[in-house]
């Protein structure tokens, strides 16, 4: 059990109860799905190297995060059929228990959002399948130009996070600013993601959780407060709701995902970099 491992690793169990979260924000690519979105089309090594370099520049402040998306599109210049092929893989590549985890969060009256650097059309379609409403999705909007045949308009290559509601959001400060400007729910917020941009947004939420079930990025997992190392996303339930509420789901409508969550944690799916947080979580068992 996690409880026993916490004791053997010298963690002093806390007496403060685990505090729940009212909003859970997910990255999409490599977090809710194994697909890496537009990067799936970067089959040439020099494309992959260029994307990594762009991201590094954004993180050091030499390049805005939004510019990464625009330059990435210009470099790859994908066709509409290529984007459709990626979109079709989102649902097929959903990580285990993605849909049931979102459903359980909603029934527990926790808002689930997607804040993603992925392209809006594929992300929105995938979000709808997961049961996440479109007004709780932020992704990179592009526009089709019918005159030159491109599916995106080069003049507007600087990508925008868009909600597809009446309030279109344009930002210059990356994912953290998108979270601050978008999520109006009162209460504590938890962000789950796998990438550098997610880590950079950690200051906009109350808890950042790195998901390493698809790909483990050393910088991200080393600096996250909590790391999920399992293939299933279900441990998010215990972090968002607290272990006791997950235990109460066993035998009910969400029995399958609750058991998956419990089993994953029992198998060591949660790794805490914050000792006080680990003690509080262990004490909730």
What's phi and psi for 46, nearest 5 deg? -70, -25
Stated pTM of the model: 0.84
Taking 60 as the threshold, does the pLDDT of residue 24 lie above it?
Answer: yes
Question: Can you give the residue ranges of every domain in the chain?
Answer: 2-283
Q: How far is CA 270 from CA 148, 157, 227, 276, in A?
A: 50, 39, 6, 14
- Eight-state DSSP code of residue 96: T
Mark out the alpha helices in 161-200 (DSSP H runs). 175-182, 196-200
Tell me: the pLDDT tens digits for 143-162? 544 444 455 554 454 455 66
Nearest to 254 by CA among 35, 67, 106, 69: 106
Domain 2-283, CATH number (from 3.40.640.10, 3.30.160.270, 1.10.10.60, 3.40.50.1000): 3.40.50.1000
Tell me: the pLDDT tens digits for 203-253? 999 999 999 999 998 889 999 999 999 999 999 999 999 999 999 999 999
Buried-state track 68-90, b at ≥16 Cβ within 10 A, e below 16: bbbbbbebbebeeeebeebbebb
Tell me: the pLDDT tens digits for 94-136? 999 999 999 999 999 999 999 987 778 888 999 999 999 999 9
Query: Cα(58)–Cα(178) distance, rounded to whole angstroms?
Result: 16
Query: Cα(57)–Cα(257) distance, rounded to whole angstroms?
Result: 39
Nearest to 2 by CA among 178, 191, 207, 246: 246
């Amino acid at each position: 059990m996690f409880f026993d491992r916490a004791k053997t690793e010298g963690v002093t169990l806390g007496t403060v109860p685990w505090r729940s979260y009212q909003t859970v924000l997910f990255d999409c690519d490599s977090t809710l799905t194994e697909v890496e979105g537009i990067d799936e089309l970067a089959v040439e090594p020099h494309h992959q190297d260029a994307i990594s370099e762009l991201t590094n520049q954004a993180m050091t402040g030499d390049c805005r995060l939004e510019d990464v998306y625009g330059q990435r599109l210009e470099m790859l210049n994908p066709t509409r059929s290529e984007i459709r092929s990626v979109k079709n893989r989102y649902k097929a590549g959903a990580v285990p228990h993605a849909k049931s985890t979102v459903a359980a969060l909603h029934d527990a009256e926790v808002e689930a959002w997607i804040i993603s650097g992925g392209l809006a059309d594929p992300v929105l379609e995938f979000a709808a399948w997961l049961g996440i409403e479109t007004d709780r999705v932020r992704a990179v909007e592009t526009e089709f130009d019918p005159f030159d045949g491109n599916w995106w308009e080069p003049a507007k290559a600087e990508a925008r996070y868009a909600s597809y509601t009446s309030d279109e959001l344009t930002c210059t400060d990356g994912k953290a600013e998108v979270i601050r400007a978008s999520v109006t729910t009162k209460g504590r917020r938890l962000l789950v993601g796998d990438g550098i941009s997610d880590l950079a947004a950690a200051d906009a939420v109350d808890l950042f959780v790195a998901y390493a079930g698809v790909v483990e990025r050393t910088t991200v997992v080393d600096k996250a407060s909590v790391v999920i190392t399992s293939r299933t996303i279900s441990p998010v339930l215990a972090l968002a709701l607290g272990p006791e509420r997950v235990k109460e789901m066993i035998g009910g409508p969400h029995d399958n995902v609750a058991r998956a969550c419990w089993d994953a944690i029992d198998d060591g799916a949660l790794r805490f970099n914050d000792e006080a947080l680990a003690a509080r979580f262990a004490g909730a068992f």
